[in-house]
Structure 1
Amino acid sequence: MPAHVLIAGGGIAGLASALALARRRHRVDLLEQAVAFGEVGAGIQLGPNVTRRLQQLEVWEPLVRIAARPDALVVRSATDGREIARMPLGNAMLHNYAAPYFCVHRADLHGVLLAAARGTGAVTLTTAARVTGVVARDHAVCVSSTERRAWEGDALIGADGLWSTVRPFVLEDSPPRATGHTAWRALVDQSALPAALRSTQVTVWLGPRLHAVAYPVRRGDALNLVVLAESAPAGDARDWDQASSLAALQAATGRTSGALQALLEAVPDWRAWTLNDRPPLASPSQMAGERIALVGDAAHPMLPYLAQGAGMAIEDAVALAEALDGGDAAAVPAALMRFAEARWQRNALVQARARRNGGIFHATGLVRFGRDAALRLLGARLLDVPWLYEG
């Protein structure tokens, strides 16, 4: 008999989980604390490991309509603009991993998943429902919200992000920690840029204590730009859509190479957020317990230095549905533990590698010199990550 699953959180992690479960004929109640479904934020890079799973979720056609398909990953110096290394994407990804490398805007991917979830007929979407209470019993879990409403199901999935309200019902730990890094993001129409600043590639500029990334989204019509620098936090740590400015960005980064500086100055509107994270997962019990499991940032927040935050959430969603497949309500706790055991080590590895990349990207002195020399010598061999893309 299919399970009845409650999901807290209507972002990418929650919608992907709802869709994956619905595809396996489970019934889902998804609870979103906002008054309407929507998504803000930056672009997302979808490696072959992620696009392969989105094919499994049967959203391929709408995904192709919103995606850009970059032809290369290019690494440059943020101080002088010179190319350091290059890795082909495009057909090379298809050949090597049997799935493409896409770039999308977060809001566009969210819209694709939302429409697909609605179309299943098995997902009930409820807004203005912030989870405030959870009671797990032997045969069910009961959830209450701020509006004094209640839901009962066979399982509860916490997909409610870094500041999850479900997480404390799975484990006791400290709040997320500030990293000392700030991110600025912008989206600009390519047609509004001078021809020399338009791009069909993923470009990464590496500098001392900073790096920037630009890539096309929305079928290539727009360029997504993110700059990350070691900078004192500002504003509400929970707000990742703070108004900012070029002046604030430049105060953190200083002057950069001519082409990068021209791109930064061509952006009319900047948003910012401070990066917070948690230590890498240490055991499967940090992802599931009894009838409650965590997915995405609620379980394993990812620093953006491996471009896999959304990717690991989507991988979680597919693995969750696979673990619950074919079981009845009584088998849910065992299924959730199978899910956690299947996922925690991979998620922990990606968390750790993302942290390590942050240090490499922002290196100074001799470490920076050695990094650039290795990239010039080995190029694509260093930039490729088969252990990730084949997973």
Structure 2
Amino acid sequence: MALSRTIVIAGAGIGGLTAALALAARGFRIVVLEKAERLEEVGAGLQLSPNASRVLVELGLAERLKERAVTPEAVSIMSARAGGELLRMPLGEAASLRAGAPYWVVHRADLQSMLADAVSDHPDIDLKLGATFEDVAPHAKGLTVVHRSGTIRRSDLASALIGADGIWSTVRQHLFPEVQPRFSGLIAWRGTLDATQLPKDYTARRVQLWMGRNAHLVAYPIAGGRQINVVAVLPGTWNRPGWSTPGDRREVMDAFAAPHWPASARMMLATVDSWRKWALFGVPDGCPWSNGPIGLLGDAVHAMLPFAAQGAGMAIEDAAVLARHLSLETAESTADITAALTQYGRARQARVRRVQRTARQQGRIYHFTGPLAVARDLAIRALGPDRMLARQDWIYNWRP
């Protein structure tokens, strides 16, 4: 008997929804299970560099995204030690022409909402909200995926299951219970502010990266430029799971106190009325990507520190590569599905590990103090904007 053409995806985050669209374009019927009753605003802004935006454009989502995304003109690399800008790396048209795809910044909730709208419009995708993945059982006809909605248990017959259910993945726990997220010792604080609250030169369409003593700060426009997304990263011991725990603004202001942080950075932080914090965890390098006809995607298999701005980008890339390896024509048996998922993992491992290492390294560089900070600032100035942008080519020029 032929396998079901249904693939079940656990998780309706950025990676799961992108995978649903990419796999549906290959002819599969997709069921997306999302435990939340509704898709609410969680997380912070995110950056979609050309390697990620290219995938979304090829899925036909460019017009939807243009309505919600902002194209930053540059990244301003700022040093708290030096008191201001070290270098302005061009983005916008320069990055788009160089990589052949746009560079966008967008609120995570806006991107998720846009993807969910596209999923809802697709006749071969069924998005089930309030549906919690519980179990999966292999058999001769493929897989039976069990999920719960309230008190009601249901099941779907599928040829494959993809766990795109985040860093605390239930699917990964089912497959590889020995793989547990690890706390990085860092906490990210997130806030937004109305762009009209800052002087005009603070609200230009650019990404600001402030590097300082044992801390750093990132700010960029979202919501069509009407808001500024601010993320401050600090060391700490608080390590509860979650994206949106309320935070005390005094902790942020104390950590970014003068004289170690200039007035311009402090003014931006002081304008944020409400802070949310989340502990930064990662999945250890070397987590397996699949087992039989069950695979993992995005944070479920490679959650990483955000210091390369590639967390969402890697999940979007995963979705494109997964769809490249899975097709109705080559998925006629469980052995075919298993082989395709194995190939998918092999195709992704080396690149993802390099991005993970880069993120960890950049986080350390951002927090340098003393002579190391002086040397860092001098090296960045010496590189210049064009060579700094060229250093991103290996990330931005990726194609599925």
What range describes the TM-score normalised by the shorter chain of this pair? over 0.9
Q: Is the Cα contact below 8 Å between 1:48 and 1:97 reproduced in 2?
A: yes
Q: Which residue of 1 aligns with 2:217?
A: 212
Q: 2:353 and 2:394 mapped to 1: Cα distance?
A: 14
Q: What's the counterpart of residue 369 of structure 2?
A: 364
Deviations 1:79-134 (A, max 9, x none): 45321122111111122111111101101111111111111111111122211212
Q: Could you say which residue in structure 1 is the equivalent of 2:354?
A: 349
Q: 1:385 aligns with which of 364, 389, 392?
A: 392
Does the CA-based 8 Å contact 1:31-1:126 persist in structure 2? yes
Residues 270-281 of structure 1: pairs in structure 2 closer than 5 A: 270-281=275-286
Q: Structure 1 residues 136 and 250 mapped into 2: Cα distance closer, same or farther (>3 Å)?
A: farther
> Aligned partners of 2:83, 2:299: CA distance in 1, in Å?
34
Which of these residues, 233, 242, 255, is aligned with residue 238 of structure 2? Answer: 233
Q: Give the drift of 1:203.
A: 0.7
Match of 1:154 among 159, 163, 178: 159
Per-residue CA deviation, residues 203-233 of structure 1 (Å, 9 max, x unaligned), is 1000011110111112222111111011221
Matches within 5 A, 1:159-198: 159-198=164-203
Residue from 10, 18, 21 that aligns with 2:20: 18
Which whole-Å deviations, capped at 9, do the CAs of 1:178-209 have from their partners, x for residues lacking one? 11101111122212333343221111000011
Counterparts in 2 of 1:353 and 1:288: CA distance versus 1, 3 Å: same
Amino acid of the structure 2 residue aligned with 1:107: A
Distance 2:214 2:138 in 1: 45
Contact 1:158 1:293 in 2 (8 A): yes
1:36 and 1:127 in contact (8 A); partners too: yes
- Aligned with 1:332 (options 320, 337, 345): 337
Specify the SS of the correspondent of 1:305: helix
| CA–CA distance in structure 2, aligned partners of residues 327 and 36 of structure 1 | 35
Distance in 1 separating the partners of 2:396 and 2:157? 38
Deviation readout 1:307-364 (Å, 9 max, x if unpaired): 0000000011111111112323412111111211111111111111111111111112
Normalising by the residue count of structure 1, what TM-score does the alignment of the two structures yield? Answer: 0.94
Aligned pairs for 1:246-325 within 5 A = 246-255=249-258, 256-281=261-286, 286-325=288-327
Answer yes or no: is the 8 Å Cα contact 2:257–2:266 preserved in 1. Answer: no
Structure 1 residue 252: Cα displacement: 3.4
The amino acid that maps onto 1:385 is Q
Q: Which amino acid is the alignment partner of residue 210 of structure 2?
A: W
Q: In structure 1, what is the Cα distance between the partners aligned to 2:209 and 2:146? A: 45
Structure 2, unaligned runs of 5 or more: none
Quote the residue 2:50 is aligned against: 48
- The offset of 1:138, in angstroms, is 4.5
Given that residues 81 and 260 in structure 1 are in contact (C-alpha distance below 8 angstroms), is that contact kept between their aligned partners in structure 2?
no
For 2:179 and 2:286, locate their aligned partners in 1 and report how far apart those are by CA, in whole Å. Answer: 13
Question: Deviation string for 1:230-274 (max 9, x for gaps)?
Answer: 12215xx22110111320212334332111101111111111111
Distance 1:142 1:252, change over 3 A: farther
CA distance in 2 between counterparts of 1:168 and 1:243 reads: 28
What SS class does the counterpart of residue 333 from structure 1 fall into? helix
- Amino acid across the alignment from 2:393: P
The answer as to whether partners of 1:80 and 1:258 remain within 8 angstroms in 2 is no
Are residue 30 (structure 1) and residue 32 (structure 2) matched?
yes
In 1: Cα distance, 2:279 partner to 2:204 partner: 27
Asked if structure 1 preserves the Cα contact closer than 8 Å seen for 2:253 and 2:266, the reply is no
Distance, in Å, in 2 between the alignment partners of 1:138 and 1:81 is 65
Q: Secondary structure at the match of 2:232?
A: strand
Q: What's the secondary structure of 1:93's corresponding residue?
A: helix
1:299 aligns to what SS in structure 2? Answer: helix
Amino acid at match of 1:169: H
Preserved contact between residue 11 and residue 39 of structure 1 (Cα < 8 Å):
no
Name the count of aligned residue pairs.
386
Contact 1:78-1:257 at 8 Å conserved across structures:
yes
Distance in 2 of aligned mates of 1:344 and 1:138:
30
- Describe the shift of the 1:253–1:136 C-alpha distance in structure 2 as closer, same or farther (beyond 3 A): farther
Question: For 1:355 and 1:329, how far apart are their aligned partners in 2?
Answer: 41
Rounded to whole Å, the distance in 2 between the matches of 1:336 and 1:266 is 47
* TM-score under structure 2 length normalisation: 0.92
Unaligned 5+ residue runs, structure 1?
Answer: none
Shift of 1:51: 0.9
> Displacement of 1:174 after TM fit?
3.6
Does the CA contact (< 8 Å) of 2:173 and 2:179 recur in 1? no
Query: Which stretch shifts more, 130-139 or 345-354?
Result: 130-139
Aligned-partner Cα distance in 1 for 2:384–2:299:
31
Question: 1:23 touches 1:120 (CA, 8 Å); kept in 2?
Answer: no
Q: Distance in 1 between matches of 2:133 and 2:165?
A: 9
- Give how far 1:71 is off: 0.5
Matches within 5 A, 1:67-106: 67-106=69-108
The 1:329–1:251 alpha-carbon spacing in structure 2 relative to 1, beyond 3 Å, is farther
Structure 1: 4+ residue segments shifted above 6 A: none
**What is the CA–CA distance in structure 2 between the aligned matches of 1:196 and 1:376, rounded to whole Å?**
22
